[in-house]
Amino acid sequence: MTTNVIPAWVFTSYVDGVVQLLQTKGHLLAGTAMAPTSVLGNEVKWFTGGRMETEEIDRSMEEAALQNPARSTITGNFTNYGAMAFIKGVDINEIKPNELSQLESEGAAAIGRRSDWIQLDEMWRAAEAAEVATIGDGTADLDILDLQLAEGDIMGIGDASIDSMFCGLPMYAFQRLLNIKEFNHADYTGPDLAFTKMAMKRTWGFTNYFVLPDEYFTRSPFSGAKLANFHGFMWWKGAIGFQRRDPPADVKMQYSVPMRGTYIDNQIGGLAKVLQPLGVKRLLFNWSAPARFIDTVNSIDVTP
């Protein structure tokens, strides 16, 4: 009996490209802080102004009351971050996918996420230091009234407008809000920023709401521990200052002769600072799956 030799010719087919691990590429908060620019140096100072009040003018000969609004500065220092990888020269020639291109893409995503975390970590820091007020205690489910409370506290002060109010929420919280009629039927009318192209968004009341990845809410910037509740934020654009080094993201690629391979190093230097604490609110609420609402006045009627 002859032996079938055809299996010796069987080959494996590979699909072109690389299946990228599901992740966010970051830079979602670009444009939501006050006038980010590229600067050099290590220390950044913001100038802060004050407030004047009017007085009634009568016909007396008394001198006008002189007012000298407060003048001060707020200082922040850059922190530098990097994401580096290495690939052997011989490996580049022995694999089909473009490893250098893949590493560049993965490094850029790491830098993009760090850019967002710089801003979120500063708001977290201010909240933990009681500089920023916290709404909720982490045990309740997020309600639309909580959002109105946060928004009212900020906009009740003065200059905040619909183009400068933002609120980042995890997907579960955003989905809960979508089950509320007024929120679900709202259109986005805010400015054209990075998150508008990459995230679910709504403009409700005077605030622009958008979804951020869960990892933006479940990580502690100080310990890296997973949290039992989420720490969202609502803020006025003018209350947060964000600065980055020039260039904003620096990619260094260098071949090492002794190592016979190429290093790819992605670097970013940046800082964020809460400039006006009254313009930022932390939202501390439970992780809760979306729920149906039966309230026919304020919510979608889901009764069969």
For the stretch 112-156, pLDDT in tens is: 888 899 999 999 999 999 999 999 988 888 888 999 999 999 988
Domain extent listing, the chain: 81-162+216-286
220 C-beta neighbours (distance < 10 Å), count: 13
| pTM more than 0.75 | yes
Q: Residue 20 and residue 107: Cα distance in Å, rounded? A: 13
Q: How far apart are CA 240 and CA 51, in angstroms?
A: 19
The Cα–Cα gap between 278 and 205 comes to: 19
Q: What is the mean pLDDT of the chain?
A: 80
Residue 302's pLDDT is: 44
Residues 136, 33, 240: CA angle, nearest 5 degrees: 60
Secondary structure letter of residue 166 according to DSSP? E
Neighbours of 204 (CB within 10 A): 22
The per-residue pLDDT for range 84-98, each reduced to its tens digit, is: 887 777 777 666 667
pLDDT at 268: 84
